[in-house]
Amino acid sequence: MKYLHLVWSNLKRRKLRTSLTVLSIFVAFVLFGLLCALKEAFTAGVSLAGADRLIVRHKVSLIMSLPESYGARMANIPGVKDVVHMTWFNGIYQNEPKNFFGTFPVNPEDFFKVYPEYVLPEDQKEAWLKTRTGAIVGRTLADRFKWKIGDRIPLMSPIWQRQGGEAWQFDIVGIYTGAKKATDTSSFFFRYDYFEEARARGKGLVGWYTVRVDDPNKTEQVAKAIDAEFANSPYETKAEPEGAFAQGFVQQIGNIGTILIAVLSAVFFTILLVAGNTMAQSVRERVEELGVLKAMGYSSRLMLALVLAESCLIAAVGGSAGLSVAWLIAASGSPVPSMLPVFVLPERYLLIGVGIVFALGIVAGILPALQAMRLQIAVALRRHV
C-alpha cells in the first residue's frame, strides 16, 4: 500500500496523457458492453426458450394457419401438459408501421399456464378474464407509449380486418412484467374470443401452438407424436423445441449478426492496442528514473509490481467507468425497440469485462515491466546523458 503514492505520482506527471488514455479505454469498454448487449439481443429468444415447451407450426411455413380444433387433439397426446395457440395479428398503432410491436390473440387461462414467466397481478388477471376487449401489455411496451391501465388503444391490422373495416379497439386491463430480467416484455396480448368473433375472415384458424410438456427430457418424443397425429391431414404440422425454433430465427438473420459482432470485436481490440501502446510508451520514457529507484535499492520484483500496478490502475479506472456506463445505457432500455425488444447486459458479461480490464493492464504493462526488472542500473543511468 505504501507504494500506491508512488504509482499515483507517476500517473499524475503527465495528467493529459493519463486522462486521454483512460478516456480511450473508457470508450472501448462502453463499446464492449453494448456489443455484449447486442449479441444478447440477437439471441434473446434462444436463451429465454423454455426447456419444456414445443412450438407447433404448419409444416410448409409459419405463415400458414392451423385449425383451432387441433388444440384439443394435442392436449390428449400423452406427455402434453398445456396447450396455447397464438396468431400473428400485426397490430399497427396510430397508422405508423414504425410503431411496431408483437400483438397476439390468446386464450388467457391457457396462456398463463404455458408462459409462467409473464407475471400479472391477480386482480389484473381477473379484470382480463372479465373484459372481452381487454388486453395486457408488457412493461417495456407500456413505457414506450406511456400507456396505463384503463387506456383504450385502437389498432389496425393489415392481415386481420375487423368486420365492418374499422379499427380494433382494446382496453388495457393489465401490465405484465417478466419473471427474469431478460424476459421480453414488449408484446401485446388480447383475447382470442373477441378476435374470433369480430374478424372478417379466417375464422377457426390460428397461427401456431405452444405446447408445454410434462417432462423436458421427452420433448423430442412428444414432438414426433404431435407430427404423427396430424400427418397426411390437409394441415400437416412441424413441432420443435422452442429453443430450436428460436435458434432458427437467429440463423435466419444469418451471418449479418456474426459480422456485426466480428467487426465490433475487431474495433474493441484496436482501441485496446492503441491504448496499450501509449501505456507502454509512458513507462519506456522513464527508464532512467527506474534506474534511480533500482540504485536506491528497489528489488527487481518490486519494480515489476510497480509498473504492472500502474498499467492495471489505468485500465481499471477506464474500464470500470466504461462498463458502468454501458450498463446504464442497457438499463435505460433498447435504443431501437422495434428491432431489438430485449436489450439487457447480463452480469456475466460484466465479469468477463472485468477480466479483460486486468488482462489489458497486464499485457500493456508486462513488456516495459520486464524491461524495468532486468534493467542494469549503470545502463539506465547512462541513458540520461
Partner 1 sequence: MINWLSQVFSVTQFNLRTIPQRRGSAIAAAVGIAGVVAVLVGVLSIAAGFRAAMTVSGPDDVAIVLRSGADSEMTSGLSREDTRLIADAPGVARTADGPLASAELFVIINLPKRSTGTDANVPLRGVEKAATAVRGDIHMVAGEMFHAGRDEVIVGQGAARSFAGLDVGKTIRIGQNNWTVTGIFRGGGGSAESEIWTDAAVLQPAYHRGDSFQAVHVKLASPQAFQPFKDALTSNPQLEVKAMRQSDYLADQSSMLTTFIERIGVYIAALMALGALFGALNTMYSAVAARTCEIATLRALGFGSGPIVLSVMFESLALALAGGAGGAAIAYFAFNGFKATTINWQTFSQVAFSFSVTPQLLISAIVWAAAIGLVGGLFPAIRAARLPIASALRET
Nearer to partner 1, 117 or 220 (CB): 220
Q: Which of 4, 8, 13, 20 binds partner 1 (CB under 8 A)?
A: 20
Q: Which one of the spans 72-80, 123-131, 170-178, 263-271 is the region binding partner 1 (CB under 8 A)?
A: 263-271
- 10 Å CB burial of residue 115 (0-12, 13-18, 19+) is buried
- For 247, the grid coordinates are 435458434
Q: Which of 275, 290, 306, 342 binds partner 1 (CB under 8 A)?
A: 275
- For 299, the grid coordinates are 528489488
Closest to 155 in 3D by CA, of 130, 125, 189, 179: 189
Nearer to partner 1, 200 or 331 (CB): 200
92 binds partner 1 (CB under 8 A): yes
Question: For 116, phi and psi rounded to 5 degrees?
Answer: -65, -15
Q: Which of 43, 48, 90, 162 binds partner 1 (CB under 8 A)?
A: 90
- 10 Å CB burial of residue 345 (0-12, 13-18, 19+) is buried
Nearer to partner 1, 174 or 276 (CB): 276
Q: Nearest distance from residue 90's CB to partner 1, in Å?
A: 7
Q: Which one of the spans 23-31, 144-152, 177-185, 205-213 is the region binding partner 1 (CB under 8 A)?
A: 23-31
Query: Rounded to 10 degrees, what is the CA torsion of 233, 236, 240, 244?
Result: 180
Q: Which of 46, 49, 62, 370 binds partner 1 (CB under 8 A)?
A: 62
187 binds partner 1 (CB under 8 A): no
Q: What is the 3-state secondary structure (H, E, C) of 77-137?
A: CCCEEEEEEECCCCCEECCCCCCCCCEEEECHHHHHHHCCCEECCHHHHHHHHHCCCEEEE
204 binds partner 1 (CB under 8 A): no
Cα 313 from Cα 317, distance rounded (Å): 6
Q: Which one of the spans 115-123, 182-190, 330-338, 348-356 is the region binding partner 1 (CB under 8 A)?
A: 330-338
Q: Which of 51, 129, 179, 263 binds partner 1 (CB under 8 A)?
A: 263
239: enclosing H helix or E strand = strand 237-241
Q: Could you tell me if 353 and 33 are in contact, meaning their C-beta atoms sit under 8 angstroms apart?
A: yes
Contact residues toward partner 1 (CB under 8 A) are 16-17, 20-21, 23-24, 27-28, 30-31, 34, 38, 59-64, 90, 92, 97-98, 100, 156, 158-159, 161, 234, 236, 247-249, 251-256, 259-260, 263-264, 266-267, 270-271, 273-275, 277-278, 281, 335-336, 338-339
